[in-house]
Amino acid sequence: MSKPVQNELGFRESVELMFNRAASFMDISDKLIEKIRICNATYIVRFGVKLRGDVHTFTGYRSVHSEHKEPVKGGIRYSLGVNQDEVEALAALMTYKCALVDVPFGGSKGGLCINPNDWTEEELERITRRFTFELARRDLIHPSLNVPAPDMGTGEREMAWMVDEYRRLNTGDMDSIACVTGKPVHLGGILGRIEATGRGVQYALQEFFRHKDDVKAAKLRGDLKGKKIVVQGLGNVGYHAALFLSTEDKAKIITVIERGGVVRNGDGIDIQALKDHMNSGAPLEEFDGGEISQDADALTDKCDILIPAALESVINVQNAHSIKAKLIIEAANGPVTAKADKILRDRGIMIIPDMFANAGGVTVSYFEWVKNINQIRFGRLQRRYEEGRNSALIDALEKQGMTFSRGFKSEYLDGADELDLVRAGLDDTMRLAYRSIRDTLRDKPELEDLRTAAFYTAINDIALHYRSIGL
């Protein structure tokens, strides 16, 4: 968690201020707005695990922001910075995010106050299993009530431990495999989940550049090719976003900001080479693919696009006046504080907000959950159907005298597999969500910016739900 900044709001306060700004434009009663805004419940669990010859006590959280749709959905992070305000803010963002991208979940979030690097893998497994037990006994892990996923400090490994522990505790639940998402593929996970949030950032930018008025408003032109990008954080999200943007869209990642230092290369950093170097355990200063420094102000490097993909509140009142990017896309949750948001807007810097930009993770988590509940692998039915349909089309065209190369026929006749379907579904979701935000902004220009329009769209969707049930 980032250090407190003087004269700055806390994370939850920032989220609520942005929420209130959008809500002020709505014709909804104050009571209903309050119902949508508040967090339903936050559970704090404290448990002991005997490790290294002594009992160590751990504190965990699971916040449920809104149960207007169930199950509720949200990641579990492992970090010493985990606290109640943080998980409640993240749970609220998850509610709005799901409403915005039309994923039928409520919002939740959890965390364990722990530094994973302080413990061995065996010790982490014991801690995770006990945490799972404490949550499961309160229905805070449950396939139809509350479905966690990976977050900062957790991944497939932790989700595998959690689902295994839940299944031990619920041997008669045939849907138990759906109690968490982000699992390894061989344990019921889905292809494309690891890359999902970073891939979603790429799709969000691709959709943004399809709208020439938005590109012009950001003082940009053309498409992503050649755009200079600064990325903060080369974890799972930042790495995949940077990799796809540089290799597929031909953008230039000119700066990568990591805990160990800053890498700069005006010709573009080889992201895969940098990631391999980091994974090798070698010091960052030994990477030969760019200039290495310990610059604390690298977020203010001049660029076309800035992608903060690490922690919340990294762009705040102290550095917002110095940001030189033309466009910011929030790959992390809450990287721009509410006060910094206003400074940036006043300076004409466009922001693609987190609740849309990083929605790829929960979108593909939904695909995984649906796959688990229906107990079928995506693509198994569609692939054969598409092969038959495509084969019939090729046959008909060839009878009319058309000819096709062997390579084209092979690629065209090969039906979509699970990864194809996941990527196509995610791309479609990101396109529709961005267009929904733009439609809202077009209809209500007084909202002024994409973030406020995104909040407005999400709040309106949740309000419609409550009104439909008589609230």
**443-455 b/e (C-beta count within 10 Å ≥ 16 → b):** ebeebebbbbbbb
Q: How confident is the model over 370-396, as a mean pLDDT?
A: 73
Residue 404: the pLDDT is 74
> What amino acid occupies position 35?
K
Q: What is the pLDDT of residues 191-223, one digit of tens each?
A: 999 999 999 999 999 999 999 999 999 999 999
> What are the φ and ψ backbone dihedral angles of 41, each rounded to 5 degrees?
-165, 150
Percent of the chain with pLDDT over 70: 95
Q: Which CATH superfamily is domain 196-360 in?
A: NAD(P)-binding Rossmann-like Domain (3.40.50.720)
Residue 367: the pLDDT is 93
Measured from the Cβ of residue 175, the count of other Cβ atoms closer than 10 Å reads: 15
Q: What is the DSSP annotation of 329-346?
A: E--SSS-B-HHHHHHHHH
- Is pLDDT of 89 > 80? yes
Residue 47's nearest CA partner among 137, 109, 116 is 137
Q: What is the pLDDT of residues 3-28, one digit of tens each?
A: 556 678 889 999 999 999 999 999 99
**8-state DSSP, 83:** -
* Domain boundaries, given as residue ranges, for the chain: 39-187, 196-360
**8-state DSSP, 203:** H
Fold category of 39-187 in CATH: Rossmann fold (3.40.50)
Residue 1: the pLDDT is 43
Q: What is the pLDDT of residues 44-88, one digit of tens each?
A: 999 999 999 999 999 999 999 999 999 999 999 999 999 999 999
Percent of the chain with pLDDT over 90: 85
H or E segment to which residue 351 belongs:
strand 350-352
Ranges of beta strands (E only) in 86-217 are: 106-112, 146-150
**Higher per-residue confidence, 207 vs 391:** 207
Residues with a catalytic annotation lie at: 109
Measured from the Cβ of residue 409, the count of other Cβ atoms closer than 10 Å reads: 15
Read off the tokens for 451: 């973030």
> Cβ neighbours of residue 454 under 8 Å, at least 6 residues apart?
96, 100, 353, 355, 356, 437, 440
Q: What is the mean pLDDT of the chain?
A: 93
- Residue 28 CB-density burial (10 A; 0-12 exposed, 13-18 middle, 19+ buried): middle
Residue 381: the pLDDT is 55
Q: Do domains 39-187 and 196-360 have the same CATH topology?
A: yes
Measured from the Cβ of residue 66, the count of other Cβ atoms closer than 10 Å reads: 27
